[in-house]
Amino acid sequence: MTALDAAIAALLRRVSGEVILPRYQTLATHEVIAKAANDMVTIADTEAEVMLAEGLALLLPEAAIVGEEAVHADPALAARMDTGLCWIIDPVDGTNNFAAGMPPFGIILALSDGGETQSGWIYDPLNDRLCIAHKSKGAFVNGEKVSARPTGETPPIAAISTVFLDPAARAAVQARIAPYYTLVDIPRCAAEQYPRLVLGVNDISVFERTLPWDHAAGVLFVNEAGGMAARPDGSPYRTDQHGQKGLFAASSPALFAQFVMRSAAD
């Protein structure tokens, strides 16, 4: 673990212990607001983002900072991810779960440079699990290097989010994918879904919305562990691809290629 990793681990645990966990299963009605359909924000999100931003600014003052809630308030801030170093913050990923008083939820941080993710940290406060990835340096869980492992199940296990799909796209999933995979519920939390691909729980995950605060760290984590996460056409995921949809992730490159073939079949 690098000095930066250690400092970020301490920051994540401090924010979790002081802001997030004290409000777990104790939120008042007025502390939960609907930003949009299927999209909640809580007082824990907003306070954690402020605290994280303050801590990250001290660790790397030259980097810009983009937080999910700040961008919701001012969409123009997303342009900060296009050039130079930039911290990307999801203060409480899985907010709908958190607001309902149930797991999983987590904190996601990424550091990008010119639209390319350099490092990522995914923290599970309830289990004190910290996933770390650095470009070309591997993936780690609680300090131990990890390699992605498929489930070994036949058919492979696919966690596919259909929440944001239109009826035609949902029908296509049932026609093209369901016959060849065991479909399982998604955790509605990228901070949990990406580790599942590395830790032998799921083989495939599919995402429609690909916002950087949800996906930058997880994509890097899967790829550095030896899995494969990319756009459906195989092109790399970048944080400066504003509004682009569609992302596949798999516990191995072979499973990724197989899934692309199945999803594109007539």
Report pLDDT digits (tens) over 42-59.
999 999 999 999 999 999
- Tell me how far apart the 2 most distant CA atoms of the chain are, in Å: 53
Please tell me whether residues 76 and 39 are part of one structural domain.
yes
The verdict on 129 and 54 lying in the same domain is yes
Cα 86 to Cα 8, 63, 118, 221: the distances in Å are: 15, 5, 10, 18
In this predicted structure, what is the pLDDT of residue 128? Answer: 98
Which domain range does residue 168 map to? 157-264
65 and 91 both lie in a single domain: yes
What's the CATH code of the domain at 259?
3.40.190.80
Together in a domain, 142 and 165: no
Q: Answer yes or no: is 151 within a domain.
A: no
Q: What secondary structure letter does DSSP report for 131?
A: E
152 lies in some domain = no
Return the pLDDT at 164: 64
A 10 A CB-CB count for 203 gives: 30
Domain count, the chain: 2
pLDDT over 60 (residue 266): no
64 and 91 share one domain = yes
The model's pTM = 0.95
**Which domain-ending residue is among 113, 146, 179?**
146
User: Of 146, 165, 182, which marks where a domain is finished?
Assistant: 146
- If asked whether residues 7 and 122 sit together in one domain, one would say yes
The span from the CA of 202 to the CA of 150, in Å, is: 7
**Interval 99-149: pLDDT, tens:** 999 999 999 999 999 999 999 999 999 999 999 999 999 999 999 999 999
Residues 191, 142 share a domain: no
The CATH number that applies at residue 74 is 3.30.540.10
- Can you read off the two tokens belonging to residue 153? 């199940």
Do 200 and 139 share a structural domain?
no
Co-location of 242 and 131 in the same domain: no
d(CA 156, CA 259): 10
Q: Smallest Cα–Cα separation from 219: which of 110, 140, 88?
A: 110
Q: Answer whether residue 206 is part of any domain.
A: yes
pLDDT over 60 at 87, yes or no: yes
Instruction: Provide CB contacts within 8 A for 194, sequence distance 6+.
Output: 122, 131, 205, 217, 218, 219, 221, 222, 229, 249
Are residues 161 and 82 part of one domain? no
Return the pLDDT at 37: 67
**Whether 139 and 16 share a structural domain:** yes
Closest CA to 230 of 193, 257, 201, 190: 257
Model pLDDT for residues 206-238, shown as the tens digit of each residue: 998 999 999 999 999 999 999 999 999 999 999
Same domain as 70, residue 201: no
Average pLDDT over residues 8-14: 98
Residue 32 lies in a domain: yes
